[in-house]
Amino acid sequence: MGSLEGAVAVVTGAGRGMGSAIAEELGYAGARVVVNYSRSKEPAEEVVEKLSGNGAEQAVAIGADVSDADQARELIEETLERFGRIDVLVNNAGITVDKTMKKLTTDEWDRVVQVDLNSCYYTVKAALPQFIEQESGKIINISSFVGQAGNFGQTNYAAAKAGIIGFTKSAAQELARYNVTVNAICPGFIETEMFSAVPEEVKDRIRQRIPLGRIGEPREVARAVRFLVEDGDYITGQTININGGIYMQ
Ligand code: NAP
């Protein structure tokens, strides 16, 4: 795609955490950014303000719970009404409900799969006609190394994140003919609120497992998203691992 000037990017769950870093990275690179949020309205508006204050062309915060198919569709419709096109879709929204299977309820299983996996299908399905008409597009789904390696107490999350990888590869095959690329990013442990929920002693054990010896920064994932968007025209159906070496394929 080259320069992001004039491109329109939708980032789900972009009011905080990795999503806000991705929105900022794409915005500073010249994209017009839709900062989606579910509960974090004010933080999302702050991201928009920050982007506008730093010379980004245009950004807007749009509320939508992307685990709801209708709201995911409305997010895409509102984007098209506002900007008339969509070039980049980053499916970043995600939650965890960590419990061993012995304690996990069916509702907790369903909730994580609904937010982390089904939302990706909902947004892509809604944006598909536009991508096909434009004959271009970049879809980036944020998975996790847990979807590759598994993790104790995360059957729901691991299944959803592994599902994202399968979805990504299949969508990449279907959409290549329209010049739409679909890739997944598998972060390792990244310094956000999701990670800060991990107890201190567990964090220490985690650090010891990471060959690079530290937790990743949200911006390190955001830079990879930008790379895929700017320089990834011949990259599709791939999973890019940004994990400090905690999982090596
Ligand atoms: P986070 O700080 O907990 O932020 C989660 C984001 O997801 C928030 O912006 C939240 O928005 C959004 N979200 C949750 N449910 C949503 C819904 N139904 N509709 C729209 N947005 C929703 O987590 P994070 O670390 O930034 O995680 C971002 C992504 O990276 C997730 O997919 C996560 O699984 C993945 N990941 C994280 C790590 C890590 O170590 N941090 C590692 C690997 C992968 P609201 O606040 O507006 O609800």
Instruction: Give per-residue pLDDT as tens, 40-97.
Output: 999 999 999 999 876 666 899 999 999 999 999 999 999 999 999 999 999 999 999 9
Cα 13 to ligand 1 centre (Å): 6
190 lines ligand 1 (CB under 6 A): yes
Exactly one of 37, 122, 157, 247 is catalytic; which is it? 157
Looking at the chain, the whole-number percentage of residues with pLDDT higher than 70 is 98
The pLDDT score that the predictor gives to residue 53 is 77
Per-residue pLDDT of the chain (249 residues; tens, 9 = 90+): 547 999 999 999 999 999 999 999 999 999 999 999 999 999 999 999 999 876 666 899 999 999 999 999 999 999 999 999 999 999 999 999 999 999 999 999 999 999 999 999 999 999 999 999 999 999 999 999 999 999 999 999 999 999 999 999 999 999 999 999 999 999 999 999 988 888 889 899 999 999 999 999 999 999 999 999 999 999 999 999 999 999 998
The β-bridge partners of 183 are 140
Superfamily of domain 8-242: NAD(P)-binding Rossmann-like Domain (3.40.50.720)
pLDDT of residue 145: 98
Choose one of 65, 194, 206, 220 to mutate for the ligand 1 pocket test, by most ligand atoms within 8 angstroms of C-beta: 194
Query: 192 phi and psi, to 5 degrees?
Result: -140, -175
Spans of all domains in the chain = 8-242
Counting from 1 in the atom list of ligand 1, the atom nearest the Cα of 67 is 18
Q: Whose CA is nearest to atom 11 of ligand 1?
A: 13
Q: Is 76 helix (H, G, I), strand (E, B) or coil?
A: helix
Residue 198 Cα, ligand 1 centroid: separation in angstroms?
Answer: 15
CB of 157 shorter than 6 A to ligand 1: no
CA of 177 to the centre of ligand 1 (A): 31
Question: What was the pLDDT predicted at 195?
Answer: 87
Asked whether 147 and 158 are in contact (CB, 8 A), the reply is yes
Contacts of 196 (CB under 8 A, 6+ apart): none
The 8 Å CB, 24+ separation contacts for 111-118 are: 111/156, 112/156, 112/157, 112/160, 113/156, 113/159, 113/160, 113/163, 114/67, 115/66, 115/67, 115/160, 116/157, 116/160, 116/161, 116/164, 117/159, 117/160, 117/161, 117/163, 117/164, 117/167, 118/67, 118/69
Q: Is the CB of 93 under 6 A from ligand 1?
A: yes
Atom number, ligand 1, closest to the C-alpha of residue 65: 19
- The pLDDT tens digits for 98-110 are 999 999 999 999 9
Instruction: Give the Å distance between the CA of 116 and the centre of ligand 1.
Output: 9
Q: Which of 10, 12, 18 to mutate to test the pocket of ligand 1 (most atoms within 8 A of CB)?
A: 18
157 classed as catalytic: yes
pTM of the model: 0.98
